[in-house]
Structures are given as structure tokens and as C-alpha cells.
């Protein structure tokens, strides 16, 4: 019974619709997918990252060769961030967004259905509860 409860745990995660997703008018469609799945949108914010916030948000990638490109892209336009809540939110949300390379993401996932890019891959979602706590703090305080 304890195990079963663990598998069914209610949790929160963060999604960020990136500047390409926002510019292309995909915000409503993307949020609807999460609502249709059964998640609740607990917080929502539309804004533009400044450089410092973006560097903090993507701190885990600071030493990667694509870091500067990533910061430059995420600060290039409006994003929409949502805290979403529901059963197994972190894992299920990652499944729903698909592989990082949109051109290789499965059909039926958000990246697989709406994009082809790598840096411009439409949406970000926290990869763990720890990342959710850090990332949502940058955005929602």
C-alpha cells in the first residue's frame, strides 16, 4: 500500500513555454494539453527573462558549450511559466514534452508535434523535484 501511494504521489512541477512557442501562438494549445491530462495550473506568469535570471535558471548547464546560446535564446522574447500540480507531475510532464531534440521527439509529445529545434524546442519542464524547487524560485520567488 505504501508503494502504491508513492507511485501515485501528488506533486508540483514547472513548465516554461519558450520564446518560440509563445511567438508561434502555441501557449493555449500547450496549456490545454496539461489540463486535458488532468493537471491543475496553480500559478502562471508571462514575462521576459533578464540575463541574470536566465543564467540562474539554467545554472546546471553553466559549463556546457551551448550555455551562452541557451541564455541568449531564452532571453530573446516572452515566455509563459506555469506551476502545474497532479499525480507524478515531474515524470509525466517530461514524457508529455518529449525528447530535447524536437526533430527526434515522438509524435504525440509537445516537441514531437510542434517543432524541429534543439535550442528552440518550445518548452522546458523541470527534470526533478529538486530542479522544480530551484527553477520555480527564480521565476516565482
Of 10 and 140, nearer to ligand CMP (C-beta) is 140
Any contact of residue 124 with ligand CMP (CB under 6 A)? yes
Helix 27-37 to helix 89-97 angle (10° resolution) is: 130
Q: Which of 15, 27, 105, 124 is the catalytic position?
A: 124
Any contact of residue 13 with ligand CMP (CB under 6 A)? no
- Residue 86, H or E segment: strand 79-87
Of 28 and 65, nearer to ligand CMP (C-beta) is 65
Is residue 124 annotated as a catalytic residue, yes or no? yes
Place of cell 500540480: 85
Binding residues for ligand CMP (CB under 6 A): 61, 66, 70, 100, 118-119, 121, 124
Catalytic residue ranges:
124
Amino acid at each position: 500500500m505504501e508503494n502504491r501511494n508513492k507511485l501515485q504521489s501528488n506533486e508540483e512541477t514547472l513548465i516554461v513555454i519558450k520564446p518560440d512557442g509563445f511567438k508561434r501562438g502555441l501557449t493555449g494549445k500547450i496549456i490545454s494539453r496539461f489540463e486535458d491530462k488532468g493537471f491543475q495550473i496553480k500559478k502562471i506568469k508571462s514575462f521576459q527573462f533578464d540575463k541574470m535570471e536566465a543564467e540562474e535558471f539554467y545554472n546546471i548547464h553553466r559549463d556546457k558549450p551551448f550555455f551562452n546560446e541557451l541564455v541568449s535564446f531564452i532571453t530573446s522574447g516572452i515566455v509563459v511559466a506555469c506551476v502545474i500540480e497532479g499525480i507524478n507531475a515531474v515524470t509525466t510532464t517530461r514524457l508529455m514534452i518529449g525528447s530535447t531534440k524536437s526533430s527526434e521527439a515522438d509524435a504525440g509529445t509537445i516537441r514531437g508535434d510542434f517543432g524541429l529545434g534543439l535550442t528552440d524546442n518550445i518548452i522546458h519542464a523541470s527534470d526533478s523535484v529538486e530542479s522544480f524547487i530551484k527553477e520555480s524560485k527564480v521565476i516565482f520567488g
